[in-house]
Amino acid sequence: MSQQKTFLVFGASGQTGQHFVALALKEGQKVRALVRTPSKLAFKSPDLHIQQGDISEVSDLDALVQGTDFVIAMLGNAQMQKKTKINTAFVQRLVPAMRRQGVKRLLYQAGGLSKPPGRPLPAALWVVRNTIARSYIGQHKDNEAVMEYLTDEASDLEWMVHRAGIGSNGPSKGVLARSEKDFSIATFADCAAYNYRTLMDPSAVHTCDLSCYRKG
Ligand SMILES: NC(=O)c1ccc[n+]([C@@H]2O[C@H](COP(=O)([O-])OP(=O)(O)OC[C@H]3O[C@@H](n4cnc5c(N)ncnc54)[C@H](OP(=O)(O)O)[C@@H]3O)[C@@H](O)[C@H]2O)c1
């Protein structure tokens, strides 16, 4: 393995996050995770450091960020996001902490139904967003505000946004690749694997792309 890296993970106890932590540890990396309920993380590893905390209240963000190589956020709370842009408020505190600590690379997982800055959302996706996915509109608006903030105010950082399409927690259906237009309804495990690869891919910097299973 190449040199061991340290990943700071937000949302580690979530559906994508659990797969991400498992993969990073399997790949021999170190993981630092902020979680509200540590017992939700079943992993035991000397390479896993868990800090109990809430993104709205964490006061020592600099200490969490210090010494990490990559930061990843797979955060969501659809009920809360109906009322307030909790993720945007957090990212607006995280980015300055990353600057202060000299940590450059951030991957933020949003959804395929969230509109990327400066690009339209295809009509079919607007229909889905406003009908069967209506209860997640707050989450999309929060994710859109994160993308706008990163685009407008964080060009000095190597951020990237994964606008994931996720349908099940089943086994792998293939390998996801980054795409501006095409997307797949993937599994959480495949999205986590995509996030892991994409974080280390310089060509993904400053993109807000979808992911789609590779053909063939
Ligand atoms: N689920 C989908 O089908 C889907 C599809 C496409 C895109 N996405 C996007 O992917 C992202 C992550 O989704 P997901 O389904 O993997 O996540 P999820 O299962 O809903 O888990 C969300 C994670 O965020 C954490 N979290 C929420 N509020 C927090 C707070 N105040 N402080 C600390 N941690 C907090 C949760 O911690 P707790 O365990 O403590 O609650 C959990 O670890 C979201 O942006 C979502 O829009 C999801």
The enclosing domain of 48 has a CATH number of 3.40.50.720
159 in a structural domain? yes
The boundaries of the domain holding residue 193 are 6-213
Q: Measured in Å, how far apart are the chain's first and last C-alpha atoms?
A: 28
Nearest ligand 1 atom to the CA of 40 is 39
Ligand 1-lining residues (CB < 6 angstroms): 11, 13-17, 36-37, 40, 54-56, 74-77, 109-111, 139, 143, 164-166
122 in a structural domain? yes
1 in a structural domain? no
Statement: the pTM of the whole predicted model exceeds 0.85:
yes
75 in a structural domain? yes
Q: List the pLDDT tens digit at each of the 216 positions of the chain.
A: 579 999 999 999 999 999 999 999 999 999 999 999 999 998 889 999 999 999 999 989 999 999 999 999 999 999 999 999 999 999 999 999 999 999 999 999 999 999 999 999 989 999 999 999 999 999 999 999 999 999 999 999 999 999 999 888 999 999 999 999 999 999 999 999 999 999 999 999 999 999 999 987
Q: Which H/E stretch holds residue 16?
A: helix 15-26
Provide the pLDDT for residue 76: 96
Q: What is the DSSP letter of 117?
A: T
71 in a structural domain? yes
Tell me how many domains the chain contains. Answer: 1
Instruction: Report how far residue 114's alpha carbon sits from residue 195's, in angstroms, rounded to the nearest whole number.
Output: 17
Instruction: Report how far residue 144's alpha carbon sits from residue 142's, in angstroms, rounded to the nearest whole number.
Output: 5
112 in a structural domain? yes
